[in-house]
Structure 1
Amino acid sequence: MGLELWRHNWLYKFIKIIGHICFSLFYNLKIEGQENIPAQGPAIILPKHQFWTDIPLVGLSIPKPLNYIAKKELFVYPIVRHFLMALGGIPLDRMKPIKSLNSFRYIEKLLQAKEFIVLFPEGTYYPHIMGQGKHGLIQRLLYWQKKISFIPLGLKYAKNGWPRKVAIKIGEPIYASADTESKEFTKIIIREIARLSGIQES
């Protein structure tokens, strides 16, 4: 039996088309590095997190259907929960991971099915500076599978202008070895995201 996706691909594609039309009115996107995206997963997209707009902009820049790991607080209301999950959202309790066992099992199945997953390694917004990476989930990802492509992604918003310019730079995949330590690996990822975003680490 194949994987039963929470994401509804027809809805994902429809919202992506609408998003492209709407965001083109407010943003002038310059996307570099799409050739660094592997033909198939498993892959983890690791973007810089500055504003809520990062989420749809990442979706517009990656020509693959994506799954997004997100904080459980976004999924409190049933209607919102079902909508976000239909768009690929995966609720995760960062403070009490034991309550997210169903999501962890689903993430593992997504990796086995060679899907693409978005994880914001800073865990929250850090406008114009680089936050420290949260290595806990990356540690679990490394435990599950060593052949994952970890793809750093930088976002740089222009401070002025209309439509507002956004530079999106997709870095080359980073791979872990059998003896990779999660904290050091997370630091490598954060440094690369900072470089691609043109900002300093905090």
Structure 2
Amino acid sequence: MFYWFLKWIALGPWLRIIFRPRVSGAENVPLEGPAILASNHLSYADWLFMPLTLPRRVTFVAKAEYFTTPGLKGWLQKTFFKGSGQVPIDRSGGSASEGAIISAKKLLADGELFGIYPEGTRSHDGKLYRGKVGVARLALEAKVPVIPVAVVGTDVVAPPGKTFGRFTRPVVRFGKPLDFSRYEGLENDRYILRSITDEIMYEIMRLSEQEYVDMYATRAKELSKSDKDPGKGPEEGGTEKPAA
């Protein structure tokens, strides 16, 4: 908690004064109790501005290496990431994705807010990409609501591939909580997980007003690097709305 307090004292007021982020729907986030905040991901600055608009701590998971690097650099990294509300991935489950689920479930069991980016990586072109089903599995296993979130304008402040961009006022929009308790016990059904994830992504798309591409962001980045067009049609991962 000391690091969280330090962040708000040292960093929060400056970000508020300089960027004056706008927020809507904050009343949809409970003042206590666990919930998953599922957001679009346009910039590395997303995890700074989204929590800044809430009175509660929002925790994300980060690579364990950020917390275990030796020396002064390692200490500075660890201090910064702890202060900005991030915890290391628990790798006891083997893979990074399994470790993220384990870490998230521990946080939610303690009644905290957990932040996640279903796309898995930042959008390279401002579009919204297909969500990975980990968010659905987490919601069912932890038995908590999912609050869709749209962060707009952070890709102007900090564009992909750049440290700084142009000044703008970021906007954070929180949607109404999504309850998936009707699917309890079906966390291993891949069709149910896909349906839940698409419902979450649809709400994020509606809040963010981004163009949706039915393709994973990592694949879209690969195609972009090879100068291929990822928006030719649904068969090639083209533009269409996720199933609501």
Per the shorter chain, which TM-score range?
A: 0.7 to 0.9
Determine the structure 1 residue equivalent to 2:58: 66
Q: Retained in 1: the 8 A contact 2:136–2:193?
A: yes
1:104-151, CA deviations, whole angstroms, 9 ceiling, x for partnerless residues?
44432322221111111111111421011111x2243134222x1211
Q: Retained in 2: the 8 A contact 1:45–1:153?
A: yes
Q: Retained in 2: the 8 A contact 1:154–1:170?
A: yes
Identify which of 111, 115, 120 aligns with 1:123.
120
Instruction: Give unpaired runs (5+ residues) of structure 2.
Output: 158-165, 187-191, 214-244
Cα deviation for residue 177 of structure 1 reads 2.5
Equivalent positions of 1:1-202 (< 5 A) are 9-24=1-16, 26-72=18-64, 74-75=66-67, 77=69, 78-79=74-75, 80-81=77-78, 83-85=80-82, 87-92=84-89, 98-99=94-95, 104-126=101-123, 127-135=125-133, 137-146=134-143, 148-157=144-153, 163-179=167-183, 181-202=192-213
Instruction: Measure the CA separation in 2 of the matches of 1:102 and 1:191.
Output: 26
Alpha carbons of structure 1 residues 109 and 195: separation in structure 2 relative to 1, 3 Å = same
Cα deviation for residue 167 of structure 1 reads 1.5
Aligned residues with identical type, % of pairs: 25
CA radius of gyration, larger in: 2
Per the normalisation by structure 2, the TM-score is 0.67
Instruction: Give unpaired runs (5+ residues) of structure 1.
Output: 1-8
Task: Give the paired residue count.
Answer: 191
Alpha carbons of structure 1 residues 169 and 195: separation in structure 2 relative to 1, 3 Å = same
Instruction: Measure the CA separation in 2 of the matches of 1:71 and 1:131.
Output: 22
Alpha carbons of structure 1 residues 195 and 72: separation in structure 2 relative to 1, 3 Å = farther
Q: Retained in 2: the 8 A contact 1:41–1:114?
A: yes
Instruction: Measure the CA separation in 2 of the matches of 1:92 and 1:75.
Output: 10
Alpha carbons of structure 1 residues 24 and 83: separation in structure 2 relative to 1, 3 Å = closer
Q: What is the DSSP-based 3-state SS (H/G/I as helix, E as strand, rest coil) of the residue aligned with 1:165?
A: coil
Q: What is the DSSP-based 3-state SS (H/G/I as helix, E as strand, rest coil) of the residue aligned with 2:199?
A: helix
More strand by share: 1
Per the normalisation by structure 1, the TM-score is 0.80
Determine the structure 1 residue equivalent to 2:229: none
Cα deviation for residue 76 of structure 1 reads 6.0
Q: Retained in 1: the 8 A contact 2:119–2:129?
A: yes
Question: What is the RMSD of the two structures over their aligned residues, measured on CA atoms?
Answer: 2.9
Cα deviation for residue 37 of structure 1 reads 0.8
Alpha carbons of structure 1 residues 131 and 91: separation in structure 2 relative to 1, 3 Å = farther
